[in-house]
Chain A
Amino acid sequence: MCDDGGVTSPANERLTRPLKRRAPNAAWPRALVGAAMLMVAFDLASSRFDWFRPGPWVVPLLAYIVGTALVWSPLDSASEEDALRPEVVVGLFSRDHWARVLIGIGLAFFSMWWFARWEFTDQPVVRIVMVPPALIVAFALLLGPWLLRLVRQVRVERSERIREFERAEIAAHLHDSVLQTLTLIRKHSDEPAAVAKLARAQERDLRTYLYQDRRTEAESVATALAAAINSVEDAHAVAIDAVSVGDAPTDKRLRAAVAAAREAASNAAKHGHAPISVYAEVSGDRYEIFVRDSGPGFNPKRIPTDRLGIRESIMGRVERHGGFAAVTSKRGESTEVHISVPRGAENGRVAR
């Protein structure tokens, strides 16, 4: 039991494991032996001179106290600072600590065993009632701190693991998105249009990541519209300010309206000036989208009949679903496309 740490031969230790941290010379085994010898001496002297005859319970009680102290003693070094770093604790338990715990448990168990057999009264009923609770309390006192510590450590470990998981998640996302984009930007550093487009796409991506609103395009027409507008932004390298009011599941008609709005926004991006804004509103019976640019404008009546963009992709598309689209524009002023489709089941017959 005393062969740990300080007793290994220094020469041997130096040769084999030069980096081993030298454990401080353990003083507790000697203190233990000394205390035991003092007690024996006291006992002998007191019986010789008949000073003071305590009951037979003194020795087991002292043994229990010493044992508990031994079991608790490794805790103070381990619990305070290292409770936050669970990986340290395992290595911290040197053989010295284990020896203390084992001896302590041995002493405590001995005294408990003695107490269980002690006939301090003649009535067996009293003993039966008294002994088990007393043993349970003694046992809890002995190992309670260890249990508490274990619970706390598990909690620390868990929060640590959650934090670690989050960190890894964020790191993975940043790597897949921002770092990749930065690499691409460096590669395209002499093409301003490409850089602007990449930066814009990345901005959008980060924004959705930060202000997460994860509804699918089928669930939310606002999401569907945002996705359509984003693809126009990407295709034409422009910034479009899209605002949605209200939301609804994307049914066939709303999908048609979104597709028309996409076409209108793409026209605005191609022919119009910034800023381009898209405003969509879901009201009780209609879904309306306004796509507006800031010039230069044109005369909608003078579009050649063979140009299919406005006539087919915007107007035709929503008219087939019972809606309408109107283009308001004048040469030299802003252009606005107003798309409107009905909502609700009562218009179902009109739609098809």
Chain B
Amino acid sequence: MSGRVRVVVVDDHDVIRVGVKQSLGEDIEVVGEGRDVETAIEAIAQAGPDVVILDVHLPGGMGGGALDVLDACLKKPDPPRFLALSVSDAAEDVVAVVRAGARGYVTKSISGPELTDAVKRVALGDAVFSPRLAGFVLDAFGASAGDVAVVDEDLDKLTAREQEVMRLIARGYSYREVGGKLFISIKTVETHVSAVLRKLQLSSRHELAHWAAQRRIV
């Protein structure tokens, strides 16, 4: 996926949409916009973007906001990738959209270059974890209680390496810095993060399941 990344921006506030469009870098092209669930689904179907920047709280639809959009779009063949954007730091919001299929979660206080970077990363199929999301993952997977997966396939726990990566991201390290600190390549860091994302989406760990059940997105 080379060249310009085509994105659709979905947010119910015009000001935020304009701001997001302006702060995106040169090599990102905004091909559509949506202001609620219906217009978002339509814009995504029409434009066929690489990435959708999606606000978590949206009017319309079944009342589930971003979850409705994710639900409708991920069922179709060849869906775009989703990057969730929100002012909310609430764990339920974060985990709900990620479990519903978003490949990343950033807050609206993110800077322009960081957002551009996050969009490109998501377009390439990687996951984008903000420090807060990383902290939440550590919390939910019981990392502080010492739960360590022995095999990678254990979806309810993180491996020691994944925990280290999450910890460094939570401490504010960029992927490059994480790689430098752990003496691994950026590619390896990305692999670990994607593995964590997969666990976050598929795990039935009860903390996660609880939040998922609350939001009816099981």
Query: Do A and B come from the same complex?
Result: yes
A246 CA to B132 CA, complexed, in Å: 13
Q: A245-B170, A336-B171 are in contact. Are A279 and B131 (CB under 8 A)?
A: yes
Contact A245 B131 (CB under 8 A): no
A292 CA to B131 CA, complexed, in Å: 12
B residues near A290, Cβ cutoff 8 Å:
171
A residues near B139, Cβ cutoff 8 Å:
245-246
Q: Mark B109-144, 1 if CB is under 8 A from A, else 0.
A: 100000000000000000000011011001100011
B residues near A281, Cβ cutoff 8 Å:
138, 143-144, 167
Q: Which of A244, A277, A284 contacts B172 (CB 8 A)?
A: A277
Most buried by A among B89, B170, B171: B171
A residues near B135, Cβ cutoff 8 Å:
243-245, 279
Nearest-CB distance from A265 to chain B (Å)? 12
Interface residues of A in 227-251 (CB under 8 A from B): 239, 241, 243-246
- Number of A-B residue pairs having CB atoms within 8 Å of each other in the complex: 52
B residues near A277, Cβ cutoff 8 Å:
131, 171-172
A267 CA to B135 CA, complexed, in Å: 23
A residues near B144, Cβ cutoff 8 Å:
245-246, 281-284
How many residues of chain A have a CB within 8 Å of chain B? Answer: 21
A334 CA to B143 CA, complexed, in Å: 26
Q: A243-B135, A283-B146 are in contact. Are A275 and B89 (CB under 8 A)?
A: no
Does chain B have a CB within 8 A of A163?
no
A78 CA to B172 CA, complexed, in Å: 64
Contact A283 B172 (CB under 8 A): no
Does chain B have a CB within 8 A of A51?
no
B residues near A243, Cβ cutoff 8 Å:
131-132, 134-135, 170
A200 CA to B132 CA, complexed, in Å: 18
Kindly report which residue of chain B lies nearest to residue A287, judged by CB atoms. B144
Does chain A have a CB within 8 A of B145?
yes
Contact A241 B132 (CB under 8 A): yes
A211 CA to B87 CA, complexed, in Å: 11
Does chain B have a CB within 8 A of A188?
no
- Chain B, interface size category, equals 20 to 34
A283 CA to B109 CA, complexed, in Å: 29
B residues near A167, Cβ cutoff 8 Å:
none
Contact A241 B145 (CB under 8 A): no
Interface residues of B in 52-87 (CB under 8 A from A): none
Does chain A have a CB within 8 A of B88?
yes
Contact B172 A211 (CB under 8 A): no
Q: Mark A260-293, 1 if CB is under 8 A from B, else 0.
A: 0000000000000001110101111000001010
Q: A241-B131, A244-B135 are in contact. Are A279 and B89 (CB under 8 A)?
A: no
B residues near A283, Cβ cutoff 8 Å:
144-146
Q: Which of B88, B134, B143, B167 contacts A211 (CB 8 A)?
A: B88
Does chain A have a CB within 8 A of B1?
no
Does chain A have a CB within 8 A of B90?
yes
Kindly report which residue of chain B lies nearest to residue A290, judged by CB atoms. B171
Nearest-CB distance from A141 to chain B (Å)? 44
Does chain B have a CB within 8 A of A207?
yes
A241 CA to B144 CA, complexed, in Å: 20
Q: Mark B172-191, 1 if CB is under 8 A from A, else 0.
A: 11000100000000000000
Kindly report which residue of chain A lies nearest to residue B140, judged by CB atoms. A245
Residues of chain A whose beta carbon lies under 8 Å from any beta carbon of chain B: 207, 211, 239, 241, 243-246, 275-277, 279, 281-284, 290, 292, 294, 334, 336
Residues of chain B whose beta carbon lies under 8 Å from any beta carbon of chain A: 88-90, 109, 131-132, 134-135, 138-139, 143-146, 167, 170-173, 177
Return 20 A-B CB contacts under 8 Å, by A number: A211-B89, A211-B90, A241-B132, A241-B172, A243-B131, A244-B135, A246-B139, A246-B144, A246-B145, A276-B172, A277-B171, A277-B172, A279-B131, A279-B135, A279-B172, A281-B144, A281-B167, A282-B144, A290-B171, A336-B171
Q: Other than A246-B139, A279-B172, A292-B171, give 12 A-B pairs with Cβ distance below 8 A.
A: A207-B89, A211-B89, A241-B131, A243-B134, A243-B170, A245-B135, A245-B143, A283-B146, A284-B144, A290-B171, A292-B172, A292-B173
